[in-house]
Structure 1
Amino acid sequence: MHDLLIVGAGPYGLSVASHAAAAGLDVRIFGRTMASWRDHMPRGMFLKSEPWASDLSDPAGRHGLAAYCAREGLPAEHGRPLPIEHFAAYGQWFARQAAPPVDERLIASVRATGDGFEARTRDGEAYRARSVVLAVGVMPFTEIPRAVRDLGGDHVSHSSDHGDLRRFRGQDVTVLGAGQAALETAALLAEQGTRVRVLARSPRVDWNTVPPAWQRPWWESLRAPHTGLGCGWRNRFYAETPGLFRRLPEPARARVAEGALGPAGAWWIRERVEAGVEVRVGHEVVSAERADGRVRVRTGTGARFTTDHVIAATGFRATTARIDVLDPLLRGGLRSLADGTPYVGDRFESSCPGLFLAGLTTASSFGPAMRFVYGAAFTAERLVRGVERHVRRGRGTALPVRSYEETAPRAAAAVR
């Protein structure tokens, strides 16, 4: 039996694996390395975060993005966006250099047992572990508006469904959203010859400004310090003190997790969008139906038009109910917060002892940093301490399954 099994090999999973292995834990990590960046973002996209805020975390701090870029002769400069493919390659390098070997098979299910957990791969092999970390990224949590959800895969998709946009050449595409994913997807579509429009519910599109210089007068730094989430003291609170953020009342945490650092386009994409993309603000799709092989769309303002395909760049909603890798009984028994996201304690442990969560699922507990790579360092260090404590307590004895099974009646009702 392993001490720890990690589901997911993105920045959070790899960072946790690096810290756990350094702590002497017997670790297995499963998943396609950096899958979101390799498979779900088309070539031509750039990393929105600053390179210095995009490190994966190893305990010695020797395998940051700058170290990789120096090795490869690539720029990693403040204020200069990094191509997504470079970041994906960095993550793969980190996996080889700073983490246990990644088993690239996908985990199909995780269930609780009397002495820990059993995880089963999609090809049917079972592994047992005293503890499990779910670092499943964002893909299980894609959000598509109800008005277009039932159009079918030929006519509607999520922006994260596309590692290649060439299938849309010569077509008419409507992109929903006003954030970076919507705007950059639209720019790439326009530049390849697709007729594209962006529909945004908001009354305007917000644009991030060019970041101030790294070296600047002390009074400017004092007024708006650089942080891994952007400039400003509020962002510094989110970025540097997730543990303190967790002490806020739950309604306040949920409100910040949903609204802070809202949709906005990066400064370096603005000119490309304005040059080739029709942007309609204040438009929300209220109905969409298939008609003669296309999609007929109507918005709340009364506008009507026909398009070939709708791409929903409308974000992610990381609720407990959507963690479909968990056995239904285990998932149904987990405690959730009022916004539907899973409860985690101060060491990222869920209400099921030994089951830990990392990444987007923890944003309502530890703040907006958990939506970005920047949160991986805090998560890995603190979470692994929780795993160590759990493993020490459980080695040689049965885990306290009863504390989980107390919720079984509610879980059984959910399954029925």
Structure 2
Amino acid sequence: MYDLVIVGAGPYGLSVAAHAAAEGLGLRTFGRPMECWHAMPSAMFLKSEPWASHLSDPEGRYGLDAYAASRGVRAEHGVPLPVGFFAAYGDWFARQAVPALDERLVTSVAPVADGTFTVTAEDGETVRTRTVALAVGVLPFLEIPGPLRGLPRRYVTHSSHHGELDGFAGRDVTVIGAGQAALETAALLTERGAAVRILARSGRLNWNTVPPALERGRWQSLRAPHTGLGCGWRNRLYADTPGIFRRLPAATRERIFDSALGPAGAWWLRERFAKVEDVRLGQRVTAATVTADDRLRLDVAGADGTAGVVETDHVVAATGFVPSLDRADVLAPALRSGLRRVGAGGAPEVGALFESSHPGLFLAGLLTAPSYGPSMRFVFGATYTAGRLVKGVRQRLRADGRSGAGRSGGGRIGRPRAGGERVAAGAS
């Protein structure tokens, strides 16, 4: 029986695991480390600053700057880092700070009558645990516009489905969206020889400005302080006070979640994006059908009600992610349906120290953003989350009369190895 099982091995899952291991909890972490990041096109870059992209360990020994130094690289403010470098950093962090990492995926988390949980791995093997931290990242929550749902992936994909984009050379591709994922995907496709258009509901494209120097005059720093979410006092509130955000009225939280830090391209992408010649703003897809010559016909409507048609070989929907519990398929149906929800999107209500309304089930990452604010949509939020969530686990174990003293036993998959070595039993 484990004290804590973590489902997910991205920035949030690995950070929670590092704090739990340091607390001596009987721990198991499931997931392929940094899987989403490894799957991105190699030519993509981090949008966030290096100093705002650390995974979290209690002593702060394994930050991105420490990894960069070990590689002889300087992680500098205002210099974007390749996503592959960040993914490799996450792997390094896991080796340093996360023991007993099992690379199998989890197919089910189900409650047991005695208040514990059964966690089932992809090969059918199970473990029992007193608490669970769900840190499954963003992929389960990807959003595709309604008219495009259900079409085969040969015609429609989400931007997160793609690694390298070389296979689109010579093809006509329509990218839907106006955020960083859409703009960078369009630029990469253009650079690889595709004929690309952008289609977006937004009436304009927004671009982040070049970040000011970290060392500035006192007045400039007071007027627009640096934060891990960008400059400005509003961003500072989102970055530094997620706990206060959680206490706002539900309607206020929902409004801010829907509007704060909206779609925008990184400053360093603007010059590359200029090569995308066909940009159609203020338009949305109303219907999509496969044509007789095996292309996709998109019926589109403008903001003024005008109608049009676009024919294309493929659509890439760079339309973000929606933190709805209905998409958290890893939770057993009865557990999922019994959780309290907030907002029209059906996100889970997350209480103090990141515990859901079901005792012992803790949440991390995007699912907590409607409760804790915009920072939980970014790697930056992992630092706020990890230590507090583990504190919540310790409190839950004490409340249930369990010490959380690092006990583990029946139902263990494999054997944890010294030095944080990864356990990949049954991994494909």
Which category of TM-score, normalised to the shorter sequence, fits these structures?
Answer: over 0.9
Matches within 5 A, 1:302-341: 302-339=307-344, 340-341=346-347
State the one-letter code of the partner of 1:385. Answer: K
State the one-letter code of the partner of 1:345. Answer: G
Provide the residue aligned with 2:357 in structure 1. 351
State the one-letter code of the partner of 2:253. Answer: R
Provide the residue aligned with 1:413 in structure 2. none
8 A Cα contact 1:318 1:360, kept in partner: yes
8 A Cα contact 1:175 1:182, kept in partner: yes
Q: Does 1:278 align with 2:251?
A: no
Deviations 1:312-360 (A, max 9, x none): 0000001111110011111111111133100111111111100000000
8 A Cα contact 2:27 2:100, kept in partner: no
Q: CA deviation at 1:259?
A: 1.1
Q: How many residues align?
A: 396
Consecutive unaligned residues in structure 1, runs of 5 or more: 398-416
Which gives a bigger RCO, structure 1 or 2 (Cα 8 Å, sep 6+)?
2
* Whole-angstrom distance in 1 between the partners of 2:164 and 2:255: 34
Provide the residue aligned with 2:92 in structure 1. 93
Provide the residue aligned with 2:384 in structure 1. 378
Provide the residue aligned with 1:194 in structure 2. 194
* Whole-angstrom distance in 1 between the partners of 2:294 and 2:354: 47
Q: CA deviation at 1:74?
A: 1.8
8 A Cα contact 2:197 2:278, kept in partner: yes
Matches within 5 A, 1:229-308: 229-291=229-291, 292-301=293-302, 302-308=307-313
Q: CA deviation at 1:305?
A: 2.1
* Whole-angstrom distance in 2 between the partners of 1:101 and 1:38: 21
8 A Cα contact 2:300 2:310, kept in partner: no
Consecutive unaligned residues in structure 2, runs of 5 or more: 404-428
8 A Cα contact 2:190 2:275, kept in partner: no
Change (3 A) 1:396 1:379: closer
Q: CA deviation at 1:276?
A: 3.2
Provide the residue aligned with 1:114 in structure 2. 113
Provide the residue aligned with 1:58 in structure 2. 57
* Whole-angstrom distance in 2 between the partners of 1:75 and 1:169: 34
Change (3 A) 1:124 1:395: farther
**Aligned pair partner of 1:392 in 386, 394, 398:** 398
**RMSD value, Cα:** 1.1
Q: CA deviation at 1:163?
A: 1.2
Q: Quote the sequence identity (%).
A: 61
8 A Cα contact 2:7 2:133, kept in partner: yes
Q: CA deviation at 1:394?
A: 2.3
Provide the residue aligned with 2:209 in structure 1. 209
* Whole-angstrom distance in 1 between the partners of 2:136 and 2:172: 33
Q: Does 1:362 align with 2:356?
A: no
- SS of the equivalent of 2:289 reads strand
TM-score between the two structures when normalised by the length of structure 2: 0.91
Matches within 5 A, 1:137-152: 137-152=137-152
Q: CA deviation at 1:277?
A: 4.0
Q: CA deviation at 1:392?
A: 1.9
Residue range with higher mean Cα deviation, 358-367 or 268-277: 268-277
